[in-house]
């Protein structure tokens, strides 16, 4: 299995976490960094453990002086396999949307110059985000931790992006999300934990861990009434292909 979105530098004891994840069948993971501090932390960790490097400026980190951050990002991005986590957030405490869009546009361009996919954060902003992707001609990446309607999911897929399925699906009350995921072909899905964030059902209040990825695979298999091995094989192929 491949965990396509997590924050390795925010895990406590990342090296042990990698050992546990490997034992639980996680063969690779896409490590995201959201701000200058986590870029530095993640780059430093590269010497100790293997991961696919993601570098980006998170929409909640957008700020008036962000141009300096973005220039710094452009300077260190050559080793990144993904640009992320970036995107848009329309939550009540999020920075002004124009600042978020400015940072997003910069990173869409960066992804195209580097020819790498985007790992996208979207909170109540799927349509606005899709519009920016279309404007920028972006057509490769993942809507991480996707939450939205089936219609929005189809528009995401139409734009060339994969749907990232995370811990939210393990909650029975997430009925709408569960219906959307059931309706989508496995060929359009990848799995993720977003560890240490987004705790799974039964682990609320705990730091999330990448070895729990199999619970997400199992939930997808149960909901779709298919073999878990198929879920694992196809989502893993999708993830591999994304960064190939």
- Residues of this chain that interact with Zn ion (CB under 5 A) are 85, 194
Closest separation in Å from C-beta 234 to Zn ion: 23
- Cα angle, residue 129 at apex, residues 51 and 223 outer, rounded to 5°: 65
Phi-psi region of 43 (alpha: psi -120 to 50; beta: other; left: phi over 0): alpha
Select 59 or 235, whichever has its Cβ closest to Zn ion: 59
Structure tokens given for 141: 């990446």
In the complex, least distance from residue 7 CB atom to Zn ion, rounded to whole angstroms: 6
| Closer to Zn ion by Cβ: residue 43 or 221 | 43
For residue 4, give the H/E element and its range.
Answer: strand 2-6
Q: How far is the CB of 220 from Zn ion (least distance, A)?
A: 19
Instruction: Compare residues 106 and 143 and give the one whose CB is closer to Zn ion.
Output: 143
CB 123 to Zn ion: min, Å: 11
- Which one, 194 or 211, has the nearer CB to Zn ion? 194
Q: What is each CA distance from 160 to 31, 83, 113, 233, in whole angstroms?
A: 22, 16, 17, 20
- Which residues are bridge partners to 55 per DSSP? 33, 83
Which residue is at the shortest CB distance from Zn ion?
A: 194
Minimum Å gap between C-beta 110 and Zn ion is 18
Q: Based on CB atoms, which residue is closest to Zn ion, 174 or 221?
A: 174
Of the candidates 164, 152, 219, the residue with the CA atom closest to the CA atom of residue 191: 164
Main-chain phi, psi angles of 87, to 5 degrees: 145, -150
Closer to Zn ion at the Cβ: 85 or 211?
A: 85
Beta-bridge partners for 33:
55
244: exposed, middle or buried (Cβ count in 10 Å: 0-12, 13-18, 19+): exposed
CB of 225 to Zn ion, least distance (A): 29
């Amino acid at each position: 299995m491949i965990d396509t979105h997590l924050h390795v530098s925010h895990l406590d004891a990342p090296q042990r976490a990698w050992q546990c994840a490997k034992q639980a069948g996680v063969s690779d993971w896409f490590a995201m960094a959201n701000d200058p501090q986590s870029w530095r932390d993640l780059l430093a960790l590269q010497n100790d453990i293997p991961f696919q490097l993601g570098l980006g400026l998170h929409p909640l980190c957008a700020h008036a002086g962000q141009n300096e951050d973005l220039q710094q990002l452009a300077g260190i991005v050559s080793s990144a396999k993904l640009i992320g986590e970036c995107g848009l957030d329309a939550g009540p405490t999020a920075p002004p949307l124009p600042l978020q869009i400015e940072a997003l546009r910069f990173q869409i361009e960066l992804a195209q110059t580097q020819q790498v996919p985007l790992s996208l954060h979207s909170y109540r902003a799927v349509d606005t985000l899709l519009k920016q992707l279309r404007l920028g001609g972006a057509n490769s990446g993942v809507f991480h931790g996707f939450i939205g309607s089936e219609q929005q999911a189809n528009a995401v897929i139409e734009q060339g992006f994969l749907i990232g399925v995370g811990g939210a699906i393990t909650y029975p009350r997430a009925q709408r999300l569960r219906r959307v995921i059931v309706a989508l072909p496995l060929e359009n899905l990848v799995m993720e934990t977003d560890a240490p964030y987004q705790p799974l059902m039964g682990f609320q209040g705990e730091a999330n861990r990448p070895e729990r990825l199999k619970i997400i695979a199992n939930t997808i298999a149960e909901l779709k009434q298919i073999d878990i091995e198929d879920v694992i094989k196809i989502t893993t192929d999708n993830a591999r292909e994304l960064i190939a």
